[in-house]
Structure 1
Amino acid sequence: MSKWLTVLCTALMWWCFLCNVPAASCIMANETDRIALVAFKAAIVKDPFGSLTSWNHSLHHCLWNGILCSRRHPDRVTGLTLMSQGLVGLLSPHIGNLSFLRQIDLQNNSFHGSIPQEMGRLSRLRRITLNGSSFGGGIPNNISRCSKLEWLNLGNNNLTGNIPAELGSLSKLGTLYLFTNKLSGTIPPSIGNLSSLFRLSLAECNLDGEIPGEIARLRSLRFFQLSVNNLSGKIPSGLYNISTIQQFSLAFNQLHGSIPTDIGSTLANLYVFQVYNNLFTGTIPTSLSNASNLQWIDFFSNNFSGTVPRDLGKLLGLQMIAFGQNWLQDDLTFISSLTNCSTLLYIEGGGNLLRGSLPDSIANLSTSLNEITLENNQIRGSIPSGIGNLLNFTVFIMEGNYLTGPIPSSIGSLQNLHILRLGQNKFTELPSSLGNLTLLNILNLGQNSIHGSIPPSLGDCHSLLELDLSKNNLHGSLPPEIMSLSSISTLLRLSHNALTGPLPSELGSLKNLEIMDLSYNRLSGSIPNTLSSCLSLEWLLLENNSFEGEISQSFRNLRGLRGLDLSCNNFSGLIPSYLGELQLDMLNLSFNRLRGQVPIQGVFQNGSAISIVGNNELCGGIAKLELPPCPSSKSSNNKLSHRMKVILLVVGLVIFLSLFVSFFIFLQRRHVSKKKTSSTPSIKHQFLRVSYAELLKATNGFSEANLIGVGSYASVYKGILDQVQMVVAVKVLNLQTRGAFKSFMSECKALRAIRHRNLLKILSVCSSVDFHGNEFKALVYEFMANGNLGNWLHQVRARDHGQLEEPRNLKLIQRLDISTDIASALEYLHCGCELTIIHGDLKPSNVLLDDGMIAHIGDFGLAKIISTISSDVAQGQSNSVVIRGTIGYVAPEYGMGDMASTLGDVYSFGILLLEMFTGKRPTDAMFKDHLNLHNFVKNALPDRVMEIVDPCILLEHNTRSWIKECMVSIMRIGVACSMESPTNRMEMGSVISELRKIKNTYMNEGLNQD
């Protein structure tokens, strides 16, 4: 080696002599570059692949790994290329001494620290490639001195700060990649000076502001990518005239405006067009078919309307078309045009207003097709059997439509299918061929009308991670083949069916399962001990079945369990103390046959996390449970006297009868209400964030078909909120109406601090602007399936045809329950809150009924919040502002200028109660001069009370001997609450007690007397 080094040095000296260069200068240049490289190596702390091993004194530096030297100047380094070598360390500032360097490529290493400013001294530099190398700090301004630079790639680092405006002076720069950094600020307009630029990527750089119009000066631009930033405003119109652009990517920003109709002609060379997740409006341009090279079209999650272009089939190279989460209203005939696209891979159109049925031509789509997602539309009909032709299908999502009929057996031919989601439709049958889908990971067929038994062939789907067949009409036993599918790890949900029989012991194979929901079936028997093998279980929901026996010891091993629901079964024996050792967030053991002492450790210390009601032989526990103390062993051995035994027997019978009645009523309501709730922890009870666009979509554009009520200040629409897939009521304020804004604020203030089962629950508030720039305010509530109380009491005019609908009959027991619900809510508002709240507009239309006929008071637009509760409240604490309300229900003192008080609500309740049991509105034409509803009832008491009772009640109970006494008692409460003088009115606490007494006396005991 030394011989060759001698030869090399001799040749170097002759070269210096022939070139008339002093030898000392030649040696100095040699040393300068070598010293710079040695300094580079010294700053590297890790070299896992030994890429710098050859960098030693035994070799000339031009022979070192990754080093290129000049042909004309053999000792001068022109290239440093060490990409993907796993190097860890700093980039030495001595790099700036390599004055002949033309390219540096250090991509995919781990250089912490910043890019040295000394690189600006490299005037011959043409290519800088430092992407994926973990650099931090700012982009060096001095790079702008590298006047010959053609390629600058600093992408995928941790660079911070602004993009230097000085970069605009690099007139020869053709490629600028700064993607995936932690930059800030705006795009400098000087970028428009880069006249040679044809590739620009500033994606995922945390940039904001508008796209500068100067970028339109980049007439050679081919690759244009600004995706995943916070850019706003409109796209500069000049960009649409740069005919050389091939890739146009502006996804995940806040850009708005419309796409020019002639874009397919002005950008004829496009092959990728991506504007998904923005705020664009208008229609999808039909001219896109003129850009014959288009392969990817992505309009997902914007506000486009209109139809899907029919001639996209002209794009023979089209691979992907995505237009989901928009407002497109169209049938599915566009699918037929796509049959010409032989390379098509992906169709995404979910979350629109697409209608019609799937055309048979779907079978003629490209055999390369991987995915079709058309969920949450209005698609009807059946799935064509030709779907089985799409042999490379991996994802098929059609949930949330109106598809009917059996699922075609041909779907079993899609043996490459990984995801099949057909839930929330109206399918009726499951094909046994589903077992052929051996690569299937997710199968969701929940919320359909599927009958029959679960096909055991599903046990052949050995790749299944998630299975959901809930809310169907399935019967029969649980196939052991499914319960032994050890692949299922995310979810097994078979709830709300009619499945029978015991749990197969094979469920012990589900060792990786996180959520098992078998609730609301008819399963029976005991829990098999093999459950103890399911060590990954976090939620186990078995409520509303017929399981029996003691609570299994197999639960002891489920150390990861967070939620356990065994309610409404036939479990007996003691509550195992080991349940307190588990890290449970929720435990429901209600309505079983459990007895003995309730543990006090672990979850049992949190009264809000457990439920044990309906187990009448329990004792002990924490004080919040209000259970009787457990008898001590000493006292239990003492013999009771005969008299004491008799007393205890009588008391026990009374308690048993009371608990039985309460249990029956509670169970009946609970059974109905739980049908509408998810068995897993639901997002429904969290406060949601919703936008104007989401509410617009939820209500089908606030269409008249979804209008369910109109008030003084607002209109109420029914809608389906996509983010939680639940039906909601959206109250949209008419801000042009005087007082609407004040009503909105009153309602927000009143509802933000209250929570009661008989108050309408607010889910969200939207304060924004609509697509025309107008102020928009709305409140989102739980939807009440049975409408308002007024529509149950009186005939209502159908909105569409102007015809009178028959009044829906309320039974006497329901009227009593609703009255008690309303009184409970008012008592809470007046006395149960930290601040006293006056509703101010209590009337039948503001009382909403859920699907269990439980009443909820709504519309707090006139509510007033007054000072902290004190003894004054009972006397009618007042506010400084006169409250408004509805004629007939407003307390008479308000008309004389008196201030708002809780006793004003009591008056409204009294009128409402009289209306409920007489069927007469307080504004009925018969009430004039000095006759009103209060006097009308008062004058009939007690002898003529049956003459004024609602005829529907008489039809139900006219033959009962106790009905008159019952009506007299109820009417007297109504009269007492609606007295003219506020001081003579009944308190709400007394009203609740009297109503409950009436129910117990007449509705329970009275029926037995007859």
Structure 2
Amino acid sequence: MELHEPRLCAFWFKSLHVITHLLLVMNFFLPTTIARSFGNETDRFALLKFKESIITDPLGFLNTWNDSLHFCNWHGISCGSRHQRVVALNLSHSDLHGTISPYTGNLSFLRSIDLENNNFSVNLTSCPELSHIDLWSNRLTGTIPPYLGSLVKLELIGLEENKLTGGIPPSLGNLSSIGFLGLESNNLVGNVPEEIGRLSNLFFFTVGANKLSGMIPPSLFNISSMESFILTSNKFKGSIPPAIGLNMPHLIEVYVGGNELFGQIPSSFSNASQINVLDVGDNNFVGQVPKCFGDLPDLQWLSVSENYLGSFSANDLDFITSLVNCSKLDTLDMGSNNFGGVLPNSVANLSTQLTAIFFEGNQISGVIPETLGNLNSLIALGLEYNLFRGAIPTSIAKLQKLQALAFQGNRLSGRIPSSIGNLTQLYLLNLSANHLEGNIPPSIGNCQPLQKLDISHNRLSGDIPPHVIGLSSLVSLSLSRNSLTGNLPVEVGKLKNIFSLDISENNFTGEIPEVIGDCMSLELLYLQGNLFQGMIPSSLASLKGLRYLDFSRNNLSGQIPKDIQRLTLLLYLNLSFNNLEGEVPKEGAFRNTSATSLVGNSKLCGGDVSEFQLPACPIRKQRIFKLKFTISLVAGCSFVFAVLLTLYWRRKSRKKPLAVDSSINFFPEVSYKTLHQATGGFSPSTLIGSGSFGSVYKGILDHREKNVVAMKVINLQQRGASKSFTVECKALRNIRHRNLVKILTCCSSMDYNGTEFKALIFEYMSNGSLEEWLHRENGSMSLTLLQRLNIVVDVASALCYLHDHCEPPIIHCDMKPSNVLLDDDMVAHVGDFGLARLISTTTESSQTQSSTIGIKGTIGYAAPEYASGVEASRQGDVYSYGILVLEMFTGRRPTDEMFIDGLKLRDFVKMALPGRLVQIVDAALLATLEETAPTATAGNEVNYMRRGHNNEIEAEEENRDYENLSKMDTSVWKCIHSIFEIGLACSEESPKNRMCMENVLRDLHRIQIAYIGVVINRERPRR
């Protein structure tokens, strides 16, 4: 053995040499195998660690991340074709919850990571090869990690639309390769660091919609590569350097609106010849608009509104002539400045692509140029609140695409051109507060999409054309303060969508037509100051949503219809100075002298409120005789009825049949067989929901009439279910309200197995529950702000009725989104009275009269005092309602996993008010607002909505908390803020500090009126 050791060593050495050679050959010919398996394994391991850091994956996008597939085929993963290494990670819009794993830093070939619209928290570590981080719209929390500045190869950082706080780290100035820095729509504070000015390759910079302040670093204006420069809606001060266009020659879009900048608008912007968007609105700029803006051939959007430009002099608008060279101009917004002089005829030579012109709120005089008719692409034309005089140009009829025309608040005279009827796409026409005369052109009836028509405060005469008053698309119609005559046409009954109808202060005669009761959406009705005669239409009682009604100063006679007292939402009723007579109703609005006026009707009597100061109604002898006769007759009939009833029950007690619960006796009962057939044997395909005491099925009772219903089948095996059925029957027996789910009948029988069966049959609500809309998984549709506002009003109206207007009063005890159902028109209906309590009418305390069920609601929604055994109360419902309101506008359940360590939904909202609304509002709601907002740029899909404007200048103090929240309309944020305040007031810990539903409903109506008024008065189109 010893003699052969040298040979053995030589053998092993040669073998090792051969193996090494073979490995090198294999590495050359098989590049995707052994040599690179180590790198591939690193990527796979890093991705699995990334998956481990995900807490929830509701859409299941990471289900493919397992060993059954190569990781390059996993959802959201892209690999390079040569090395099979991960080069892109895209999990945007995946609704992932968790942290970003530090192992992401081991994906050394990664060039792009896109996690937009998720729910990540920042937990990044150094990733030396990472060149692209896009976390746009992920609702991140915390601060921007300073160590991002050490990732020297980063080319893109996208942290837009999250909840980041703190300042911008100066270390970001070390990222010399970065080109895209997006920090928009967060809650950042402080200054923009001077170091950012060192980023010489930066071409996209956005910090809009934060709380940044101070001076903009001068070095930032010297980055010559800059293309998109977005500082909108902050508190930046100072001026823009005069040489900005020279130092930043590649600018394409500039958004500096909504700050506190001052000085003059630099004319050097014209040196950046590629600019297509220039927004300097809502600042404190002075001087004139530079004429050299006409040297920007690509200019599409120019906004200088809400500044102090101009000097009310004749040459203020001379710059318009220079804009003729901007052949791509789309939007020109000059509103709310100090412009004087006349509108030059050269405005007609502007771009044929121009879709919107706004000059409102200035002191422009002269006549409106006839040549405006040449701008045949116009969609919106706003010249309101100026000093224009003369006639409305007939050439306006050439603007066939026009949708919004606002000329109110000028000095226009003459007739309304009948050619306006050619504008068949018009949805808004406001000619109010002028000196127009003559008749209302019947041709306006050709404008079929018209939603708002306001020609009030003019000198119009003649009748209302039936074609105009019958426009079913109208939401708001105001003809007040004219000299119109004739009758109110019966076509008024066609206004199925009308919200506000104002024909006050005219000379209308005749009777108010009964068909006005067909205007089912009507909430504001003003007919005062006319010559109407006859009786008040009894059909008004069908207008369940009516809130303001003014018939004062007419010649109405007869009695006040008693059914008006059933209008539970009525906040204001004025019947003064008519010839009304008889007894005044005693319920509803007639119990509130501050809301009702009856003065000037000398023949009225009675009433239930002494402040009306009405005499008692006389009792006539004939009436006394009739009363005595009636009493005798009733007594005799009662005796006979009692005898017959006794005999009937004796006979019936022998049979003891299983009957329908006596609580529901206003519809015929249905059999188990009928329900079984209607649901295909209670097929799972017809199941639409389930709860603690039963399941809900969809069925068709009558296939010929396609009578679709919802059937709540009680699970009698569940403890308390039978009592729940009885409670719900009693609660639903006598209640009637448009915002309560309507019960049709019930079934109490035996099923085919001889087992007891109970079910309630309700109207079917085609749009499902509020819970489904707020938390639907696919996110395909979302509730708009107006829909949410209407729903909270509907639910408040239902609770107000249950608490204060039904007999006996009812406490719902389980107010939550899943118990709010939506019909075809998205009207909300409160349902599920299985836990309801009836309040005793003999005591003011909330003693339970119909149920001893221990549960008083659902975790998260139940009032905190219920945990200590306190009896159910109105205040408990109010608390649940408050939580529901907060959930509707934050998109977060009260049991959301983020609410830990004592943090509650209420605290989450309270801490954000008033200045951080944009951080708590439901992202789905923000998306619906932004869909209708003006588009800032198509390149980066950033949407903007301009602030609304009216003739009254709001105080700066009032807007201070809103103006920097977002790019949204200030009125939108005021509405949302007010609703949050109501939600907080309703969800106070102490029951005695909570609002009552009467006050909640009143305040919500005010918010609703204010917001809808803004919606229907906003003349500007949304892009």
| Aligned residue in 2 for 1:231 | 212
2:119 to 123, 135, 138: 135
Distance in 1, matches of 2:119 and 2:24, equals 40
**C-alpha distance in 1, partners of 2:283/2:44?**
57
AA matched with 1:215: I
Q: In the alignment, what sits opposite 2:354?
A: 369
1:488 CA displacement = 1.0
Instruction: Tell me how far 1:41 sits from its aligned partner.
Output: 7.6
Which of residues 325, 330, 344 in structure 2 aligns to 1:345? 330
The code of the aligned residue for 1:267 comes to M
Supply the distance in 2 between the matched residues of 1:727 and 1:199 (Cα, whole angstroms): 38
Give the Cα separation in 1 of the matches to 2:458 and 2:162. Answer: 49
Tell whether 2:5 aligns with 1:18. no
Q: Which residue of 1 aligns with 2:235?
A: 254
2:287 is the alignment partner of 1:306: yes
- Equivalent position of 2:613 in the other structure: 626
**1:199-233 CA distances to partner (integer Å, 9 max, x unpaired)?**
11111111111111111111111111111111111
Task: Work out which of the residue numbers 408, 414, 422 in structure 2 matches 1:436.
Answer: 422
Structure showing greater relative contact order (alpha-carbon pairs closer than 8 Å, 6 or more residues apart) = 2
Q: What is the identity, as a one-letter code, of the residue corresponding to 2:589?
A: V
Q: Which residue, 304, 308, 319 being the options, matches 1:327?
A: 308
SS at match of 1:443: strand
Residue 600 of structure 2 is matched in structure 1 by 614
1:155 aligns with 2:136: yes
Classify 1:293/1:73 alpha carbon distance in 2 versus 1 (closer, same or farther; 3 Å). closer
1:528 aligns to 2:513 (yes or no): yes
Tell me by how many angstroms 1:727 deviates: 9.6
Q: Secondary structure at the match of 1:450?
A: strand
Q: Is the 8 A contact 1:124 1:146 kept in 2?
A: no
- SS of the counterpart of 1:192? helix
Q: Contact (CA 8 Å) 1:125, 1:146: kept in 2 or not? A: no
Contact 1:561–1:584 (CA under 8 A) maintained in structure 2: yes
Distance in 2 (alpha carbons) for counterparts of 1:130 and 1:727: 42
Counterpart in the other structure of 1:584: 570
Q: Within 2, Cα distance between the matches of 1:36 and 1:198?
A: 27
Which of the residues 397, 405, 408 maps onto 2:390? 405
2:98 is matched with 113
Letter in 1 for 2:402: L
1:595 to 581, 586, 601: 581
Q: 1:356 aligns with which of 341, 357, 382?
A: 341
Give the 5 Å matches for 1:282-321: 282-321=263-302
Check 1:495–1:16 CA distance in 2 against 1; reply closer, same or farther (3 A cut): farther
1:538 and 2:523 equivalent? yes
- The 3 A distance-change label for structure 1 pair 727 and 72 is closer
Question: How many angstroms apart in 2 are the aligned matches of 1:326 and 1:767?
Answer: 16
- Deviation at residue 442 of structure 1 after TM alignment: 0.6
The one-letter code sitting in structure 2 at the alignment partner of 1:243 is: S
SS at match of 1:463: coil
Long gaps (5+) in structure 2: 1-21, 626-947, 961-1023
- Does structure 1 residue 518 correspond to structure 2 residue 503? yes
Distance, in Å, in 1 between the alignment partners of 2:61 and 2:557 is 71
Amino acid at match of 1:475: S
Equivalent positions of 1:618-697 (< 5 A) are 618-621=604-607, 622-633=609-620
| Alignment equivalent of 1:266, drawn from 231, 240, 247 | 247
Native 8 Å contact 1:372 1:395 kept in 2: yes
> Given the superposition, is the C-alpha separation of residues 517 and 577 from structure 1 closer, same or farther in structure 2, using an over 3 Å criterion?
same
| Letter matched to residue 615 of structure 1 | N
Note if contact 1:229-1:253 (Cα within 8 Å) is conserved in structure 2: yes
1:385 partnered with 2:385: no
SS at match of 2:328: coil
Higher Cα Rg, which structure = 1
**Partner residue in 2 for 1:737:** none
Give the Å deviation of 1:766.
9.3
How many angstroms apart in 2 are the aligned matches of 1:727 and 1:151?
A: 45
Tell whether 2:442 aligns with 1:456.
yes
1: CA distance, partners of 2:557 / 2:547: 22
**Structure 1 residue 424 corresponds to structure 2 residue 405:** no
After superposition, the C-alpha distances for 1:359-415 in whole angstroms (9 at most, x for unaligned) are 111111110001100001000011111111101000100000010111010000001
Q: CA RMSD in A?
A: 3.1
- C-alpha distance in 1 between matches for 2:225 and 2:41: 47
CA distance in 2, matches of 1:200, 1:469: 49
Distance change (3 Å), C-alpha of 1:175 and 1:446: same
Is the 8 Å Cα contact of residues 294 and 318 (structure 1) preserved in structure 2?
yes
Q: CA deviation at 1:25?
A: 10
Check the 8 A contact 1:115/1:135 in 2, yes or no. Answer: no
Structure 1 equivalent of residue 826 of structure 2: none
1:112 Cα shift? 2.3
What amino acid is aligned across from residue 228 of structure 2 in structure 1? Q
Pairwise mapping of residues 66-81 of structure 1 onto structure 2 (< 5 A)?
A: 66-69=76-79, 78-79=85-86
Count of residues in correspondence between the two structures: 608
1 CA distance for matches of 2:270 and 2:956? 42
Give the conservation status (yes or no) of the 8 Å contact 2:173–2:199.
yes
Taking the aligned partners of 1:179 and 1:62, their CA distance within structure 2 comes to 28
Matched AA of 1:424: G
Deviations 1:867-906 (A, max 9, x none): xxxxxxxxxxxxxxxxxxxxxxxxxxxxxxxxxxxxxxxx
TM-superposed deviation, 1:578 = 1.3
Partner-residue secondary structure (3-state), 1:273: strand
| 1:414 equivalenced with 2:399 (yes/no) | yes
Residue 110 of structure 1, CA deviation: 1.4
Is it true that 1:189 corresponds to 2:170 in the alignment?
yes
Residues 233-259 of structure 1: CA deviation (Å, up to 9, x unaligned): 111111111111111110111111111
SS of 1:467's partner is strand
For structure 1, the residue ranges without an aligned partner over 5 or more in a row are: 1-13, 80-101, 639-721, 729-762, 769-1010
Mapped contact 2:58–2:95 kept (Cα < 8 A): no
Asked if 1 retains the 8 angstrom alpha-carbon contact of 2:136 and 2:159, the reply is yes
Instruction: Quote the Cα distance in structure 2 between the aligned partners of 1:291 and 1:601.
Output: 70
1:667 corresponds in structure 2 to none
Partner of 1:575: 560
Task: Say whether the 8 Å CA contact 1:346–1:369 is kept in structure 2.
Answer: yes
**Structure 2: distance between partners of 1:555 and 1:232:** 55
Does structure 2 conserve the Cα–Cα contact (< 8 Å) formed by 1:542 and 1:567? yes
**1:1005 equivalent in structure 2:** none
CA contact (8 A) 1:16 1:23 kept: no
How far off its partner does 1:563 sit? 0.6
Q: What is the alpha-carbon distance in structure 2 between the residues aligned to residue 345 and residue 58 of structure 1?
A: 54
Secondary structure at the counterpart of residue 583 of structure 2? strand
Name the counterpart of 1:481: 467
Percent identity of equivalent pairs: 44
Asked if 1:168 corresponds to 2:149, the answer is yes
